Amino acid sequence: MKTNTGLIQRGPDMKWVEIISLRCAANIDTLFVNELLKGISESDLAMDTPEHLVEIRVYYHSIVETDLSIHIYWKSEPGSQDKSLLGLRFFSALRDLGLLNHSIWVETAAMENEFGNEMIKK
């Protein structure tokens, strides 16, 4: 639903993202990270509620070669936004590589551009 301010208000399901950020002392072992992502099996997803999982994306910093961020996108009913078992598994697997931060962000609004498309893709 679009408001008169151009913001889109979301329905009863909440969109939220779980972010695990890593800063390594040396370059990131991309092979290890790729294998970690490939290692997500159906049993791992079954520990969480897979119907709430939207997607997983991995980002590398554009300049700092030692920074990595894993974003796990979820959509669920209000009140269920907490660190997932899947996110905790990633955190545990990466903990020996450097400094980690694990946080949850809940979407509150989105903006549309003048053509009616959301400016930020989810």
Name the fold adopted by 11-108: Alpha-Beta Plaits (3.30.70)
Query: How big is the CA angle at 117 (ends 111 and 118), to the nearest 5 degrees?
Result: 35
Instruction: Give the predicted TM-score (pTM) of the model.
Output: 0.76
Contact 20, 70 (CB under 8 A): yes
pLDDT per residue as tens digits for the range 21-48? 999 988 888 888 888 888 876 556 666 5
Hey, where are the domains in the chain? Answer: 11-108
DSSP reduced 3-state for 11 = coil
pLDDT per residue as tens digits for the range 67-120? 999 999 999 877 777 898 889 989 999 999 999 999 999 988 777 676 655 555
